[in-house]
Amino acid sequence: MAANAGGPRAVITGAGSGLGQALALRLAREGWRVAVTDIDRGRAETSLSRVREAGGDGLAEACDVRREADLRRLAERLREVWGGVEWLVNNAGVASGGTVAETPLEDWQWMLDINLMGVVRGCRALLPLVQAEPGAHVINVASFAGFAGVPGMAAYNVAKAGVIALSETLRAELAGRGIGVTVACPSFFATNLLESFRSPQGGQRGLMAHLMDRSPITADDIADDIVQAARKGQFLVISHPRARAALRLKCRDPEAYFRQTVRSTRRFVQPPEEP
């Protein structure tokens, strides 16, 4: 299949590994053309090879979502080669730990620049590609952390809450244009997100790795949930049953949710060292 041959088209940021790659392969098995982008061109090209092995096709592009120029260049490339895309998936992201007070300002800026502003830039640059396409859909990958308010994950929580708010706003703005919006809010699952992990608290990386490794939900599970939700026009995707139960409790009884969160997440915040 040539890159400009038939088949629905999707562009996915951060698709060189993890959930982004799982989404690319999920679509490839149905014959989609997938623009696989990643800050690491080698990873993007490896994912594209897997996409082709799975029955799809596409192209691989290096893209840093911190750089508006990269996203605009990607948009021009896709317009030239495909003319547009049906699905835009803003997935690229990083992870961090640390409290509000202890997280350095440069880590706050790094986190917000990638996990929140990267989605804003992706929408601004790539949304015109889906405007005129039937079945057009925008998928933003947030996290259950955007709802949870877990202590010790301050910058990450705030960035992902911003993606949820952005997605709600975008959904309302696009409601009359035939463009759907889905926001995915997974909890912990096995991924390589910790490769770029930052935290002023030394033990947090190991704790996060433990929670990821013990999760019964995989990237493939989440990718399948996202694809099905987008096709149904469903806005919110929370794949983990315990996370869905926690959100119901938070909506029904916020104070009970708060007490439960404090009890169950003490290990996320290490006590300060004695002077």
Catalytic residues: 156
Rounded Cα–Cα distance for residues 111 and 96 (Å): 7
Token reading at 13: 């940021």
Quote the tokens at residue 148. Answer: 């949870």
Separation of alpha carbons 107 and 245, rounded Å: 31
Phi-psi group of 58: left, alpha or beta (phi > 0 → left; psi -120 to 50 → alpha; rest → beta)? left
Distance, in Å, from the CA atom of 212 to the CA atom of 210, rounded to the nearest integer, reads 5
Helices (H) and strands (E) in the chain, counts: 11, 7
Q: How far, in Å, CA of 8 to CA of 89, rounded? A: 14
Helix, strand or coil, per DSSP, at residue 47 = helix
